[in-house]
Amino acid sequence: MKIKKSTNLLLLVLAQFLCLTAFAQPQHFPAVDALGGTATLWRITDYDDTSNTQPLWATQDICFIQGAVQGSNTTGLWYSTTYNRWIGRYRQEGDQVTMIGDFWKGQGNDVIKWEITVGDKEGFGHWEEWVEDGNYGNWVVKANAKLVNIGRCAWQPPLGITLPELERLVVQQADFAPIRVRTDGTLAIPSDLKMAPILK
């Protein structure tokens, strides 16, 4: 009889342990960026959602860096390697990714909501941009977006650093990206149809 009680107690403790560890998984696959010091490069292309023909507007490269896990969400930072100081944060839950960000040092704003649909290599969703104008904001882009995983970022963050230090380094990397202009010489937005090519 004592053996049965101790076996039941052992099974109960084991079941509680398994329940606790089931909720403590550090990664939600497929991942925008893998855990462990990597930074993953994705290419985003937008297609004008206000047109029936949905023409291609612009393509940018975005580097994702995984941060903390918050409940069922993986969080992190992102920055563009092809558009100067376009930076933000992201949350991923399962295959759903939400990005918020700023360009023009905060006057321009982005939200990109997309879903990883082909393993961890492609995703599709919506990309919206607006510029602060002191009132409601000027909504400049409503687009469909395609994202493709193109490998590792050239810059890899150092391991074991604090979030404030990582944020500082990400801004530093974002400042290395080129300042983009339109074909008429005025400042471009990240999804700009009339963006001039990057000069080599």
17-21, 61-65, 112-116: range with lowest mean pLDDT: 17-21
Q: Is the pLDDT of residue 113 over 80?
A: yes
Residues 63 and 66: their CA atoms lie apart, in Å, by 10
In this prediction, residue 37 has a pLDDT band, given cuts at 50, 70 and 90, of low
- The CATH T-level fold of domain 40-176 is Lipocalin (2.40.128)
Domain locations in the chain as residue ranges: 40-176
As given in the structure block, the two tokens for residue 124 are 């599709």
pLDDT score recorded for residue 46: 92
- Helices (H), ranges, the chain: 2-22, 163-176
pLDDT classification of 6: cutoffs 50, 70, 90: low
What does the pLDDT look like over 117-156, one tens digit per residue? Answer: 877 789 999 999 999 888 877 777 788 899 999 999 999 9
What does the pLDDT average to over 152-181?
93
Task: Kindly state the average pLDDT of the residues 143-172.
Answer: 92
| Residue 198 CB burial class (10 angstroms; 0-12, 13-18, ≥19) | exposed
Q: Which residues lie closer than 8 Å to 115 by C-beta, 6 or more apart?
A: 95, 96, 97, 123, 124, 125
Mean pLDDT of the chain: 83
pLDDT on residue 51:
72
Q: How far apart are CA 15 and CA 176, in angstroms?
A: 51
Mean pLDDT of 44-56: 78
Bigger pLDDT: 139 vs 42 = 42
